[in-house]
Amino acid sequence: MLSIVRITLKGIFRDRIFQGIMALSLFFVFIPSVASLSMRQVTELSTTLSLSLISFIMLLLAVFLGATSIWKDIERRYTFSVLSLPVSRSTYLVGRFLGIAIFMLIAALFLGSAAIVSIKIASLTYPPARPLLWFAIITSIVFDALKYIIVVAVSMTLATVSTSFFLPVFGAISIFMAGTVTQQVFDYLHTPSAQAAVSAAIRKAALVLYYLLPNLGGFDLKVHAIYAIPLNTQGLLLTGVYFLAYTGIVMSVGALLFARREMK
């Protein structure tokens, strides 16, 4: 499996899509000057812009790497040569996934460092009203990476059953969008006004979706990072365990589906 992980990482670094997406990180240079337009919260705005840029780049990386990795292998018939080796299909899939997941963490480290530099510059020029909480900023970036690793798992699982890259790309984007709002929908459905307005059947369907779709809202710690609001350690631990369990479930389903897939 280690060799698959290594090959995956090497492949990503050589990929042109990756290079193009990472070129977006040049925008970090402009963040301090754009943030200086704020009236009262220059550092906070520069943190907002940095974290949003990281999130946007990581979403692109997660969707394209997750969706195209398996699909490209099948399309170029690399899978045949790999699977003729004494490697099971699940090992191959998990190896690919781990390679991309490690890459996402490396990307988070690189982008996070750029973000920290641009936030530091903004904070030195216009000191914030409240001291920066670096721990919250770093944790927010790490949890962002975990969130996009879930998106990678989802898009790879979709790729195991799809014959084109449309389903994994658009499916992963849709699940990402839905995953960021499931908690809001869940909270809304428990308000008295929703209890009266929404029928019981729709409420049940929404509840099923709530448990089925990834709850990505828990991984969004931007507000803590931007406004130096202390983090809840227990909540972070729970989110970490949720990440392991959900990724495990999705990848197991992916491995089962991939094992049954016919290769022509």
Partner 1 sequence: MSAVSRPVVALLVSLTIYGVVLGSFSDYMKLKPIEEKLGYLPSTSFLRYASADHKELVGASLVMKVIMYFGGIAEKQQANVIVQPPDYRGMSGILHGAVKLDPYNMDAYYFAQSFLTWEVKQYKIANDLLDYGMKYRSWDWMLPFFAGFNSSYFMRDYPAAATYYKRAGELSGSDLSKLLAGRYMQEAGQTELAIAYLTTMEKGERNQSVRRNYQLRLSAFKEVRKIEMARDRFKEAKGYLPTTVEQLSQGGFLSTVPLDPYGGQFYLEADGKVATTSKFAFAGAKKAAKQNAGETR
Between 55 and 90, CB nearer to partner 1: 55
The residue type at 15: D
CA distance 179 to 187: 14
**C-alpha closest to that of 225 among 166, 151, 138, 153:** 138
Residue 260 CB, shortest distance to partner 1, in Å, is 33
Residue 221 CB, shortest distance to partner 1, in Å, is 10
Between 12 and 133, CB nearer to partner 1: 133
Residue 145 CB, shortest distance to partner 1, in Å, is 13
Between 47 and 79, CB nearer to partner 1: 47
Residue 92 CB, shortest distance to partner 1, in Å, is 31
CA distance 126 to 103: 34
CA distance 65 to 165: 11
Between 91 and 183, CB nearer to partner 1: 183
Helices (H), the chain: 2-14, 16-23, 31-35, 42-75, 78-83, 89-125, 134-161, 166-189, 192-197, 200-212, 222-227, 233-260
Q: Give residues in contact with partner 1 (CB under 8 A).
A: 37-41, 44-45, 48-49, 51-52, 55-56, 126, 129-130, 147, 176-177, 180-181, 184, 216, 220, 222-223, 226-227
